[in-house]
Homo-oligomer: A and B are copies of this chain.
Amino acid sequence: MNGAVVLFSGGQDSTTCLYWAKTTFEQVVALNVQYGQRHQREIESARKITLLAGVELVEAEFGAFRPMAHSAMLQGVGSVQDVNKDGLPATFLPGRNLVLLALAGSLAYARGFSNLVTGVCQTDYSGYPDCRSEFINSARETICLALDRSFMVHAPLMWLTKAETVKLARALSGCWEGLALSHTCYEGGHPACGECPACKLRIKGFLEAGEKDPAVEA
């Protein structure tokens, strides 16, 4: 069936992917996975945006990373500005994107959908190995083998700059209103801190696209 599961954090990229998926597939379900993020604002954004977009939101809790991974993405662990001993951003959570895609595959299997959508992006990927296209392609094959079904994994932002992502959002019906509700800042405050790596990327993208961020205006 021409349905899709969108991995949906409530941030800028996954919000753009959600509206992209709405233009592309007959049925769309958003999957939000709470794996112990530093703050709750993302999930609040995810609920507001899916309500606005008229898309079902599935929320899944997932505490399993806590005993094994040290990452600034988890509440109270380190600073989001740090670099870890491998030279990767401290916000790298080893195995996260693979687990997220596996869960999206599981949900798609249950619904009879053949499409998974993720907002990962290699252009601005900040060194995360699990945002690269090689990883996405390999994960797709593995998920198909795990479930004995054919799935496509769509990563529409893979080769876009953040400015091009902003332009894509402008072109997608309803997406700009969704972006006004989106949350990107690692620190979880409102207004966004403007200083963390995620904020800096977002600001740079809107600046280069010559647009005002609707979340800042809101």
Contact = CB atoms under 8 A, between A and B. Distances in A.
Interface stretch (A137-145, A162-170, A177-185): A137-145
Contact of A138 (B31, B99, B134, B141): B141
15 contacts: A58-B68, A60-B65, A62-B64, A65-B106, A69-B106, A95-B102, A95-B105, A95-B109, A95-B147, A98-B105, A102-B102, A130-B145, A134-B145, A138-B142, A141-B142
A158 to B, nearest CB: 14
A98 B142 contact: yes
A64 B145 contact: no
Given A99-B102, A130-B146, A33 B64 contact: yes
A58 to B, nearest CB: 5
A35 to B, nearest CB: 8
A99 B33 CA distance: 13
A102 B102 CA distance: 9
Interface string A72-109: 00000000000000100000011101110011011101
Contacts of A69: 106-107, 109-110
Contact of A146 (B68, B139, B147): B139
A26 interface: no
A60 B139 CA distance: 23
Contacts of A143: 95, 98
Interface string A113-142: 000000000000000011010110011011
